[in-house]
Amino acid sequence: MEVLIGRHPTELISLSSLPPSTSSSSSSVVVGQNIMLKDVLDRCLGPPEDGVGEEMMHVVKLAFSCLRGDPRTRPTMQEVSIQLSSLSRRPTFPKTFQTTTLGQLMMDSEEE
C-alpha cells in the first residue's frame, strides 16, 4: 500500500481493521465508499495506462485482504505470491479504475 499511495497508509490500515465488536466490516466499507481509489494513489505515479489500472485495483484489493483483523482469514504469502503472479488473468472489475472506491475493493477482499 505504501508504494502505491506514496506515504504510510495509516488511515487505510485503521479503516480496514476496525474491530467487528465496535464496528462491523460493513461500517468500514461505508466509510470507504466515499474515497475514490484514484484520489489516494501517489500523484507521482500519474494516471495508469491500458490495463495497469485494473492490475492496481487487484493489488489494492489483495492488500486489504492482508490487513484483515483476524490473522486466520488473511492470505498466506504463498497465496499472495500466486495472486500477484496471475494478475493479468484475473476477472475484470465491474467499474473502471477512475470510478472505483476503496469501499468496493474492501468489500471484494472480504468476499474471497
pLDDT computed for residue 112 by the predictor: 63
Cell 501517489 locates to 42
Residue 37 has pLDDT above 50, yes or no: yes
Q: From CA 54, how far away is CA 20, in angstroms rounded?
A: 29
Tell the burial category of 91 from Cβ atoms under 10 Å away from its Cβ (0-12, 13-18, 19+).
Answer: exposed
Residue 20 has pLDDT above 50, yes or no: no
Q: From CA 1, how far away is CA 62, in angstroms rounded?
A: 10
Where residue 22 falls among pLDDT bands split at 50, 70, 90?
A: very low
φ, ψ of residue 36 to 5 degrees: the values are -80, 140
Per the DSSP assignment, residues forming a β-bridge with 36 are: 101
pLDDT, tens only, 40-83: 888 888 888 878 888 989 999 999 899 888 899 999 999 999 99
